[in-house]
Structure 1
Amino acid sequence: MGRRKQYMDEDVDSSDDEGGRINFDVTDQDLEDEAMGFSGFQQARNQKRQKRFADDMGDSDDDDDGTGGRMGIGSSSRSSTLADTNTSFLPAKKDPTKDRLKAQENTNSSNKKRSASPTSRQRGSSTPSSPGPGFADFTKHTTGIGMKLLQQMGWTAGKGLGAGGEGMVNPVETKQRPKNMGIGFRGFQERTDQSRMDDMEESSDSDQDDQDKTTAATPRQAWKRQEKAPTPSAGKQQRKPKKVMYQTATDILTETQQQQQQQQQKVIDMTGPSVREIDLADIRRTDSPTLMETTTRLPELRHNMRLIVDLSRGDLENLSREKQTTALRLGGMKEELEAIEQRYKADQERLEKFQQAKAIGLQLQQTAKDALANGMYENANITTLFGEAFEQLKTNYMDQVVQMGLDSMVVAVWAPIMKYKCVHWDVLAEPTWGVDDIKRWRPLLRSNDDNMKKNSSSNRRHTKQNQPLVATPYETMMNTIWLSKVRSAINNTWDVREPDAVVQLMEAWKDTLPRFIYENIIYQLILPKLARAVNDWDPRNDKQLIHVWIHPWLPVLQAWRLADIFTTIRHKLSVILRQWHPSDESALEVIGRWKDVWTAQQMDSFSQKNVLPKLTQVLRQEFVVNPHDQQLEPLAWCLAWQGILSDKMFGSMLEKEVFPQWLRVLYKWLTIDPDKVNFDEVKEWYMWWKQVFASFGVADHPVLLKCTRKALDMMSAASSGEFIEPPVV
């Protein structure tokens, strides 16, 4: 009963610091058994078990209350077995409760706090932290593989572990539970003496900290733990002071801003069973010192404190985000305010310009009224009447002509004068009237052509084709006033065979007129009248050549616009050339004027169908090579077309129709009677023909050079008496 009472007392004491929980410490016996088990010494392990059982039996005898010698754990069979093996019982162990009380008294009397954690005490230094055998004593009774490995790595007894000897010196204290005893049976203490002493020291440190908090002078000192210098004790290692860090509201706000800046940074976490993606801010928050568990005391209070801290942190983070959002909104509102101020300033400047432009408009209106009243419309021009006001608009308001509609104001005072002048304007007599004023003030007269020039070809390609264009005031004035007068003059007064006046009109107004008005004059007025005149043209009876009144239009209308008229002219000339003889040189005069106007293909096609057959017929029927009486007129009629016919066509005519006949005559002359041939006469005849070809301008023609080389070979062979090859016909 005494032993059971002791067990019950120990059971009560074992729950003082652990809340009733049992600490499963490893004893020296466990280490020895483990070493022997790995070493394979089964017999020694059985002896250790028998010795431990004998200790338990001895304790049972001591606790017997005299009521029959009842034993504790074990039976007579177990004791008989021990008796047979002659195993002696070891003396009883020391009472751990007495050792704990004694250590507590020593700790209270010293009143000194140790700050090193249990983990650090286990690691230790050269000074042992609790009584017990060191590694030196441990090596005397240990021969396992672990000791052999330590010695092979350079460790010697009496020194700390590690390369520099800075590690622990004393082994971890362990306590062996008796065999076949359950956990906590009869209040058996699993904890070692060293562990209980460390817990008592921590309790004393906590009490001292609570006392310091209570006696603090200010609330800040009550919540902030002061660092105390460790006091060394006899035979014990100095503990490293615990440094507790706290975060202020400013630190949390700074950390929140950094997290917001780094919220896009992701980290791949592969420490768990699956791969996941987390934010860098979450990792930093987890490592925060204020969230680390440093003790296990008062779990409810620490839980509540964590809730308060988390709520406060959330509020601070929300306030930080709200502050950042408000700052962004404030920055945006400032930018918007600056934009509004700039627009207001621009509107004020535009308003001032509008007022100044309005004053100029009133001045123009008054000038127009005065000119109408005193008759200055008849003699003065636009520049004389409104030049000063127009110059102000051109200098100060050129970039705002469209926005302010200044072209409408200019046309409003210009149109009455133009209308009045057009009534008395003779277009054919004064084709350039008014063009100088238009060219000078054209920047103030807006047109749709100006926008088309500014836009690139790609932009015009994407523009809607069906979008209608609204005529500008300038275009309306020119279309209703100026074009009406010009249309009447061209249709009713202008003679097609006298193109100079209208040609001068189109050249002078080409760059100032709106494009649609210029094209309207060409396609609606000029080309139809020219086409009717060409259709009425008779090449046989008309004494005036057609090129006289058609060619002046080439710079204005271009040849591609006159293509249909040229086709009609070629058709009429082809009809006339059917009865034409090359002796009539008028055809050469008429057709020669169109060589540079028609294309090369058109000219070759026309010549091959209408001119070349006539020339070939004359050379075959009328041209004869006769050394006694040579007639050159038929040859001259044909060689005159050298500049009209192409080189290929002209060379083919010489090679097929002229030079074969000439070479045949020379061959007959040289082969009739070699003894009677006068080579001096042949030479003179040859040189005379060269002068003839040179006078017609064909001396350097490739076909002529080929023919003369053949003639020289024939004369050389005849003079040498060799065989003369006849010419190929």
Structure 2
Amino acid sequence: MRGKQVKVLTSLENLNDEEESIPMADLMYNVRLLVSLCEVDILKIDQDLKIERGVIVALRKEKEELEHDAARQDKQLYSLSEIANELERVSNQCRLGLLTLESVAKSFGDLQKVFPEEYKLFRLSTIACSFALDLFRRLFLGWDPLVKPEDDHQLSVVSIWKDLLQDDEISDLLYSRLLMEVVFPVVRTSITNTWQPKHPEPLLRFLDLWEELLPQFVLQTILDHVVMPKLSDAVDSWDPRQDTIPIHVWIHPWLVLLGHKLEVLYPTIRTKLEHVLRDWHPSDASAYTVLSPWKDVFNRGTWEQMMISCIAPKLLVVMRELEINPADQKLEHFYWVQTWVGLIPVDHMLHIMDVFFDKWQMALYKWLCSNPNYQEVNDWFVGWRSLIPSELLSTERVRCQLKVGLDMMNQAVEGLAVVEPGLREHLSDINARNQSQFLAQQKAAAAAAAAQADKTAMNDMSLKEVIEVHAQHNDLLFKPKPGRMQDGHQVYGFGNISIIIDALNQKVFAQTEEGWSSVTLEKLVMLGKTTAIKRR
């Protein structure tokens, strides 16, 4: 063997020919072999070195963690030692009777600042409450929250403890429990024994001062289980005829705190008010003082029903008793009615004013027939108009009534015969004439629409608006269907059906299972609610 391959020689000839082609072949082979072996050794040594370095890094990290744990444990040991020493000091003060709420709060407040993690971990707030509970009971012994609550030492002490105990959820529960066990019983006793619901100011002042200190649960417990029963009893015993303090004075201040919970008292209040109003006369202004604050408190339907049944009939009688005398006018009856304009529904007030205008127009007619001083008549007219409240003066009905009087005045000034007002019938004639004029104008508009496309569009819009109003009143969807036309008319969706509007003939056609047919507005609403045909 003279190389890396085995060769069998049968002759010694040409033995050195191969050696001449590769000089020192044996040496080169051996060198390469040694290099390969060294390379393997180097790679193994490098791998071992990396492993050892990783071990060193891991050991260093473990050492750091152990040192950190040791430092943390030393810190915890120090913290626990300091906390134990402070607790021992507080316990010694407690045994000696030297402990105060301020000193306990300061001690645990310092622990909370210096050792916040340990304070939460070991729930030191619970220990603080155990030291403070008896001290709180002694502090609130004999305390009356309704007597100068703003000067109380209790307010400042509870404020300190609120800051101490409201650090986390557990502390919040401890604070609420502390106030329920200490403050609530005292407040409940004071309210039950000494507080008068008709004089709410002391309790309201206490709740206002303690609002930020009382947890929501404690506040609601006081309102629901202490205040509401007292108010309910006071409402039950309230007599509108005898009590000099109006009920809204001592009920409405609780609207902010109790809100809708007061609604359970309203039926009793309304019943008693309605009972008293049976014997009421509009000359008694106290009824307005008592009732007016309740307009925005009672729901609209209940309020209007009470006004219609209890007040409006009395005002109608007073208005019928009113005498219109330009020579010596007495306005007391009119003022009694005028007072209630903002409280009674407008339509009922207009009915009362119709009675007034019947008399007013007749008095004006008689005056104009007696050859009067027209300047005096004008001043009389302007004066009455100024007495009519703006809520009524803005209505079409009142404006028409005044126009009747103004027309009579114009007839007299122009020397024409003054037409005697026909009271209610005359007003009906005027309305009928106006209606006839309106229908005639509609027909004229329809005829013009046949000749002019723009007028047709205007009529279409008017009829469409009427249908839209019906849709809104009946909670139905009304909208055009883009790209849908029928006989040259735009197709609209009305609830569950399709309709078209023929403005020229003032008709509405609805698509039913039988096809397109003319319908009235009433039938249209019925179809819109019940029909569910397939839309094209």
Counterparts of 1:192-207 in structure 2, within 5 Å, are none
Q: Are 1:213 and 1:221, in contact at CA under 8 Å, matched by a contact in 2?
A: no
Q: Are 1:642 and 1:650, in contact at CA under 8 Å, matched by a contact in 2?
A: no
Counterpart pick for 2:84 among 358, 365, 374: 358
* Residue in structure 2 matched with residue 214 of structure 1 by the alignment: 26
Counterpart pick for 2:293 among 569, 593, 611: 593
- In terms of fraction of residues, the more strand-rich structure is 2
Q: Are 2:109 and 2:164, in contact at CA under 8 Å, matched by a contact in 1?
A: no
Q: Distance in 1 between matches of 2:139 and 2:386?
A: 68
Quick check: 1:402 aligned with 2:101? no
Q: Are 1:407 and 1:474, in contact at CA under 8 Å, matched by a contact in 2?
A: no
How many positions carry a matched residue from both structures?
A: 407
Counterpart pick for 1:603 among 303, 310, 314: 303
C-alpha distance 397-633 of structure 1, shift in aligned 2 (>3 A): farther
Counterpart pick for 1:571 among 263, 271, 279: 271
Counterpart pick for 2:218 among 517, 536, 542: 517
Counterparts of 1:29-44 in structure 2, within 5 Å, are none
Letter aligned with residue 683 of structure 1: N
* Residue in structure 1 matched with residue 461 of structure 2 by the alignment: none
Q: Are 2:232 and 2:265, in contact at CA under 8 Å, matched by a contact in 1?
A: yes
Letter aligned with residue 686 of structure 1: F
Q: Are 1:422 and 1:485, in contact at CA under 8 Å, matched by a contact in 2?
A: yes
Counterpart pick for 1:637 among 308, 323, 336: 336
Residue 531 of structure 1 deviates from its aligned partner by 0.7
Q: Distance in 2 between matches of 1:437 and 1:480?
A: 16
Quick check: 1:436 aligned with 2:149? no
Q: Distance in 1 between matches of 2:57 and 2:287?
A: 88
* Residue in structure 2 matched with residue 534 of structure 1 by the alignment: 235
Q: Distance in 1 between matches of 2:41 and 2:298?
A: 92
Residue 416 of structure 1 deviates from its aligned partner by 2.0
Residue 723 of structure 1 deviates from its aligned partner by 7.4
Letter aligned with residue 303 of structure 2: M
Q: Are 1:660 and 1:728, in contact at CA under 8 Å, matched by a contact in 2?
A: no
* Residue in structure 1 matched with residue 357 of structure 2 by the alignment: 659
Q: Distance in 2 between matches of 1:708 and 1:477?
A: 71
Quick check: 1:504 aligned with 2:205? yes
Percent identity between the aligned chains? 26
Q: Deviations over 1:527-577 (max 9, x none)?
A: 11211221121223333322233233334x232221212332122212222
- In terms of fraction of residues, the more helix-rich structure is 2
Q: Distance in 2 between matches of 1:497 and 1:442?
A: 32
SS in 1 for 2:213: coil
Q: Are 1:390 and 1:441, in contact at CA under 8 Å, matched by a contact in 2?
A: no
Letter aligned with residue 219 of structure 1: N
C-alpha distance 336-561 of structure 1, shift in aligned 2 (>3 A): farther
* Residue in structure 2 matched with residue 423 of structure 1 by the alignment: 141
Counterparts of 1:135-150 in structure 2, within 5 Å, are none
TM-score by length of 2: 0.62
SS in 1 for 2:243: coil
Residue 666 of structure 1 deviates from its aligned partner by 2.9
Q: Deviations over 1:11-60 (max 9, x none)?
A: xxxxxxxxxxxxxxxxxxxxxxxxxxxxxxxxxxxxxxxxxxxxxxxxxx
* Residue in structure 1 matched with residue 244 of structure 2 by the alignment: 543
* Residue in structure 1 matched with residue 442 of structure 2 by the alignment: none
C-alpha distance 471-215 of structure 1, shift in aligned 2 (>3 A): closer
Q: Deviations over 1:562-621 (max 9, x none)?
A: 1212332122212222332222222111112323444555533432343233323332x3
Letter aligned with residue 566 of structure 1: Y
TM-score by length of 1: 0.47
Q: Are 1:663 and 1:711, in contact at CA under 8 Å, matched by a contact in 2?
A: yes
Q: Distance in 2 between matches of 1:397 and 1:701?
A: 75
Q: Distance in 1 between matches of 2:73 and 2:285?
A: 78
Letter aligned with residue 718 of structure 1: A
Gaps of at least 5 residues in structure 2 are 1-12, 429-536
* Residue in structure 2 matched with residue 615 of structure 1 by the alignment: 315
Quick check: 1:483 aligned with 2:203? no
Q: Distance in 2 between matches of 1:538 and 1:643?
A: 26
SS in 2 for 1:365: helix
Q: Distance in 1 between matches of 2:122 and 2:362?
A: 89
Gaps of at least 5 residues in structure 1 are 1-104, 112-203, 225-244, 254-315, 452-468
Higher RCO (C-alpha under 8 Å, 6+ residues apart): 1
Counterparts of 1:118-197 in structure 2, within 5 Å, are none
C-alpha distance 403-599 of structure 1, shift in aligned 2 (>3 A): farther
C-alpha distance 478-219 of structure 1, shift in aligned 2 (>3 A): same
Q: Distance in 2 between matches of 1:553 and 1:659?
A: 44
SS in 1 for 2:199: coil
SS in 1 for 2:340: helix
Counterpart pick for 1:702 among 373, 394, 417: 394
CA RMSD, 1 decimal: 4.3
Q: Distance in 1 between matches of 2:63 and 2:306?
A: 78
* Residue in structure 1 matched with residue 533 of structure 2 by the alignment: none
Q: Distance in 2 between matches of 1:330 and 1:250?
A: 22
SS in 1 for 2:339: helix
* Residue in structure 2 matched with residue 19 of structure 1 by the alignment: none
Max Rg structure: 1
Q: Are 2:223 and 2:258, in contact at CA under 8 Å, matched by a contact in 1?
A: no
C-alpha distance 475-222 of structure 1, shift in aligned 2 (>3 A): closer
Residue 496 of structure 1 deviates from its aligned partner by 2.7
